[in-house]
Amino acid sequence: MGNIRITKQFNFETGHALFGYDGKCRNVHGHSYKLSVTVIGKPITDTTHVKLGMVIDFGDLKKIVKEEIVDQFDHATVFNKNTPHVELAQELTDRGHNVILANYQPTSENMVLDFADRIKARLPKNISLHSLKLQETDTSFAEWYASDN
């Protein structure tokens, strides 16, 4: 049986600021992100298996992405921990806000790289991450493809 790709989409709200950037995004602001996760594998052919015909149960994929990405990033503010934003991050944390200090500038490009690593680490051995699409606005998105990496 051939490989099949399946995709699940997720939505979450995240704030960020790009330290040192020369445009408006240097200010703290947020986005309604849309994340499309596509995995590839062979459907289960064992007629005694409860997930016969599935590459991966959409619920299992949802659990992975929810735990690794959505639950952590939804309604959080992301800052590069190697910038002076760390002081603002501490102030927000002290006031009870959900803050993520990342090892990178929190652009869509870097976030999608981070998300790919997190998801790949949790997928079953017979399933591969094919691609991710992180949509920041209606007209702007970053994509990650396994074939490019």
Q: How far apart are CA 149 and CA 127, in angstroms?
A: 17
Predicted confidence at residue 1, as pLDDT, reads 72
pTM of the model: 0.95
Three-class SS of residue 140?
coil
Q: How far apart are CA 115 and CA 137, in angstroms?
A: 18
**Across the chain, what does the average pLDDT equal?**
97
Annotated binding residue 31: yes
Could you read off the pLDDT of 5-24 as tens digits, one per residue?
Answer: 999 999 999 999 999 999 99
Q: How far apart are CA 142 and CA 1, in angstroms?
A: 32
Annotated binding residue 97: no
Q: How far apart are CA 57 and CA 113, in angstroms?
A: 24
Residue 47 DSSP symbol: T
Domain boundaries, the chain: 4-145
Helix (H) or strand (E) holding 37: strand 29-41
Q: Which fold has domain 4-145?
A: Tetrahydropterin Synthase; Chain A (3.30.479)
Annotated catalytic residues are 25, 75, 136
85 vs 135, residue with greater confidence: 135
The yes-or-no verdict on residue 91 having pLDDT over 90 is: yes
